[in-house]
Amino acid sequence: MTEKALTDGQAMYAFQLMKQNDGYLYLGFAARSALALGMHKCEVVRGNSYSQHRLRATFWTIYGLERIVSLFTGRPSSFHDDQIDASYPDDIIDEPGVADAKGACATFAAVRASADLGRIANVIAGGIYSPKSVRRASDLVAVHKVARDCADALESLAHSVPPYLQFFDATLLVGAVWQEIQRTFLGMWYHLMHILVHRPALTYATFFASRFEAQTTAGSLLDIDASVAASVSSAKAIIQIANDACCNRAPNLKSDGSVAFFLLVASITLLYDVLDPGTTPSYARATFEVVESAIHTLGTMQHVGPNNSKELSLDIMKFAKDALASGGEEVSLERDLTGAFPWLR
């Protein structure tokens, strides 16, 4: 167990350093170690002792993280659901012999939620992003159904978590540090998965001069505008959750490079949206305001790794300038935005 715990820690540290490939490799090793120990088997982890609780919590923590990271990095998972019959960990409430278990060591709602996200992530990876999922135009119907089912599953999960994990409620009172960290990452995972569910429609639209033309060609196969709206909403939510965490709920996350990764992805998603010729000045201005808030939060972060916050902020600014410049003849829009956002000059 010590070696596996060390591997888990190495994976988390790799993500803090924004080394996603290393994190994926460490989690893969942790997953295979857990499988080798039989932690996926009911007969191994069944029981009410504290050690059995911890075995189940450890296994499902690895499962959720490994599945989610596999999706985000575009790589296969080490787990096969048909070989797993271990139950989820229950919360520990006044059980004999475990009176000292408190907080994150006794409350496993986030573990269960991340495991559920892991199951959905596997469906997204196999049903939408597998090389075999789209081989002909007619396959888009099946992909669209998978996307719709996954979006529904994500929505159901979001409203099944306990109050302290309700990442969609910005008015929620600040809880314990461990609760806020769990809430933050659960929310960012959820929304990035939501973006990935709708990404095929966005990618399809890039092959056309406008979203209107893309929708006309796609017909009823894809709802381009709905997918764009869902992706934009989730990108804004990621930035809001990260901003709130770093500035208010869990300031220690300023040292976590994985939060910077989510801010970067969300910002680029929003900037891709303003590339559409149908973008109005007011819409573009509102989008750049959200991106500017992400840049501001990045400026307060102190994480270490191959790309520091300043470099990431500059990357976002460059992408924003390129997006604005691609408008070509929209000189008045460019002048208006550079006046409101000097960093676009």
Whole-Å CA distances, 300 to 16, 197, 270: 16, 31, 21
pLDDT digits (tens, 9 = 90+) for 305-321: 655 656 667 677 776 77
The residue ranking higher by pLDDT, 55 or 7, is 55
Tokens for 27?
A: 């989690």
pLDDT at 331: 43
What burial class does residue 275 get, using C-beta atoms within 10 Å of its C-beta: 0-12 exposed, 13-18 middle, 19+ buried?
Answer: middle
pLDDT digits (tens, 9 = 90+) for 220-233: 777 888 998 999 99
d(CA 4, CA 215): 49
pLDDT digits (tens, 9 = 90+) for 48-61: 888 898 899 999 99
Rounded mean pLDDT of 95-124? 83
pLDDT digits (tens, 9 = 90+) for 15-43: 666 678 888 998 999 999 999 999 999 99
The mean-pLDDT minimum among 99-103, 192-196, 246-250, 328-332 falls in: 328-332
The residue ranking higher by pLDDT, 3 or 308, is 308
d(CA 180, CA 186): 10
Residue among 224, 177, 227, 220 nearest 197 (CA): 227
CB 324 within 8 A of CB 271: no
Residue among 326, 344, 340, 318 nearest 277 (CA): 326
Reply yes or no on whether the pLDDT at 83 is more than 70.
Answer: yes
Cα angle 238-244-248, degrees, rounded to a multiple of 5: 160
Tokens for 243?
A: 């901003």
% of the chain at pLDDT higher than 90 = 49
SS (H, E, C) 324-342: HHCCCCCHHHHHHHHHHCH
d(CA 300, CA 1): 37
CB 304 within 8 A of CB 312: no
First-last CA distance in the chain: 54
Whole-Å CA distances, 45 to 48, 54, 80, 85, 149: 9, 9, 18, 10, 31
